[in-house]
Amino acid sequence: MLSNMNKLLLTLSLITLCFSSIQVAHASQTNEEIVPYNVSKLIVLKIEATINPAISNYLKVELARPVEDDSSLFIVKVNTPGGLVSTTKSMITTIGESNHPVIIWVTPEGASATSAGAIIASAAHGLVMNRGTNIGAATPVGLGEDIKESDGRNKAVNDLTALVKSLSTTRGRNGEAFSNMISTAASYPAQEALKLGIIDGITSNLDDIRALLQGKVLTIKGKKRLIQFAQVIETEERTMDIGLRILNIVADPTTAYILFILGAALLYFEFQSPGGLVAGGIGSFFLLLSGLAFQVLPLNVGAILLMVAGIVLLILEVFVTSYGLLALSGLACLTGGSLFLFRHDNSFITVQYPVIYSTLLGVATCIAIITFIFLRKTPRMEFYTHHNQAAEILKVLEKEGEFYLYQVKVGGEIWKARSSKEFVIGDKVTVEQKQQDTFILEIV
């Protein structure tokens, strides 16, 4: 009898111990430590353009920039029609690696976070919208049209659907609604987005955001932080500098595509009629800009290449008659390279703009003085007609009366010329004069 009683007591003790272990484990899971995050400063960023490398660099540098204390909260005003998927993923990573809360605010009224903007919004620690705004329509498309190939489209849709669902669920938002933005191009106005749990609230000013976030728990880099605002809050707005503003204009997909086509066309003309180098120089400048816009070239690499190209073009101006076009292209390359240099989240060394402006002004002044002296010492007619300069027959055109018409290259330029003598392609000739009121040279 005693033995059975001991067995019963032992069994009850084991059951009690098991239940106690389960409760302790559950308590450790549910009562995860929540660390207060005391906000004393609001840093406001603004995205009012397509999602491009300039916007990505702007966000990355600002989030990585050292702050006076660890109590800063970033509010990113968003109004974007979308942009590049590769840049979007880079910005998502930037937000995920931030040590500070990042709140996406779709504002002002009439604004939208569509396509890439909606995907980025899914990664924000907090997401709010102004009245009269919308979010969604994030189905991936090609440049100006829908992706037609079924396999490529399915891969892109499935990849982005899984991404936004994972991100939004991690932030405690409606993952299904976000995935519908990708799979069915769903778009939601602010009121509906709030009802479906897509956003955290509807706000019209910074005070509304403070009231909404006060006492809210946000997960930042895997740790739960309780947002608490100080009595006095400092607000700082940080805008893009002039270098990123220029890149932001260039990085528009349509502008970047046009620059690429122009650059390729100019290089083609240079290869077709080599020697002038004007088309090749300007085309190289356009291609480098398009490479930065398409994010094929990192900003620092592209900046260095632009500066090297600028120096080469300035040197070529000395040897090739371009009437200043090579010099202007060189100055543009140097300016762009100087403004885009030192763009890295781990590098806070920057060249001050007064130094850049004074240096470029000095270079431009030297070129202007040299050009002025050259023009004063060169006879006007000789400068425009290449008098007594050597030329080469490029093409035999036709015979007009007693004269033969040719296409010649002289001083890196292509001219139409005529002569009473008959020449063949490749012959070396000399420019005698230019016909009155025409652009036809006399050659002998």
Look at residue 56 and tell me whether its pLDDT is greater than 70: yes
Neighbouring C-beta atoms of residue 164, cutoff 10 Å: 26
The C-alpha atoms of residue 219 and residue 167 are separated, in whole angstroms, by: 12
- CB distance 253 to 267 below 8 Å: no
Does this model's pTM top 0.85?
no
Q: Which domains does the chain have, with CATH numbers?
A: 32-237 (3.90.226.10), 242-377 (no CATH), 383-443 (2.40.50.140)
| pLDDT attached to residue 323 | 67
| pLDDT attached to residue 7 | 56
pLDDT digits (tens, 9 = 90+) for 291-309: 877 767 777 777 788 888 8
| pLDDT attached to residue 205 | 94
Q: Which of 313-327, 371-385, 407-421 has the least mean pLDDT? A: 371-385
pLDDT digits (tens, 9 = 90+) for 81-118: 888 788 898 899 999 999 899 999 999 999 999 988 99
Rounded to the nearest integer, the mean pLDDT of the chain is: 79
- SS3 label, residue 339: helix
Residues 6+ apart with CB under 8 A from 276: 270, 320, 322, 412, 413, 414
The C-alpha atoms of residue 105 and residue 112 are separated, in whole angstroms, by: 10
Per DSSP, 347 falls in state B
Neighbouring C-beta atoms of residue 358, cutoff 10 Å: 11
pLDDT digits (tens, 9 = 90+) for 24-33: 344 344 456 8
Nearest CA-CA partner of 205 in 49, 44, 55, 40: 44
pLDDT digits (tens, 9 = 90+) for 4-40: 555 554 555 555 444 444 443 443 444 568 889 999 9
Residue 68 burial (C-beta neighbours within 10 Å; 0-12, 13-18, 19+): exposed
Average the pLDDT over 352-379 and give the result.
65
Percent pLDDT > 90 in the chain is: 25
Look at residue 156 and tell me whether its pLDDT is greater than 80: no
Neighbouring C-beta atoms of residue 110, cutoff 10 Å: 10
Nearest CA-CA partner of 342 in 61, 92, 52: 61
The C-alpha atoms of residue 120 and residue 122 are separated, in whole angstroms, by: 5
Residues 6+ apart with CB under 8 A from 441: 385, 386, 391, 408, 410, 415, 416, 417, 418, 431, 432, 433, 434, 435
pLDDT digits (tens, 9 = 90+) for 245-287: 888 888 777 788 888 888 888 888 877 766 567 777 788 888 8
Q: Which of 143-152, 227-236, 401-410 has the least mean pLDDT? A: 143-152
Torsion angles phi and psi, residue 241, rounded to 5: -75, 175
